[in-house]
Amino acid sequence: GDSVTQMEGPVTLSEEAFLTINCTYTATGYPSLFWYVQYPGEGLQLLLKATKADDKGSNKGFEATYRKETTSFHLEKGSVQVSDSAVYFCALIPPSGNTPLVFGKGTRLSVIA
């Protein structure tokens, strides 16, 4: 079945460091891909998404590019802030489109000043 694999955390970075969180997926066809973020004590929020190969999703300085050839959707940010400390989830919706999200296990990011 469809699945998402994320790099295990926790990830600890100093402020202004470069961030990469790896995400790969297994799915038939071309799923839609998402990154959600969960800040402490809050619900899941959509961070960015991409719906077809080579699409780049971006928001709040975060970016991720849909790579069909490597079945990946890695999350990157050039300079993290303390306020970026959260749990990040990679997720997909299968190509049929009208189905629930399939999530990875999440990666906890801690940014220290």
Partner 1 sequence: DTGVSQNPRHKITKRGQNVTFRCDPISEHNRLYWYRQTLGQGPEFLTYFQNEAQLEKSRLLSDRFSAERPKGSFSTLEIQRTEQGDSAMYLCASSLTSFRAETQYFGPGTRLLVL
Q: Closest distance between partner 1 and the C-beta of residue 108, in Å?
A: 9
DSSP helix/strand/coil, 82: helix
Q: How many residues make contact with partner 1 (CB under 8 A)?
A: 25
| CB-based contact 97:34 (threshold 8 Å) | no
- The number of helix segments (H) and strand segments (E) in the chain equals 0, 12
Nearer to partner 1, 17 or 55 (CB): 55
How far apart are alpha carbons 92 and 36 in whole angstroms? 11
List the x/- string, 13-32, binding to partner 1 by CB under 8 A: -------------------x
Could you list the residues that contact partner 1 (CB under 8 A)?
Answer: 4, 32, 34, 36, 42-46, 49, 51, 89, 91, 93, 95, 97-106
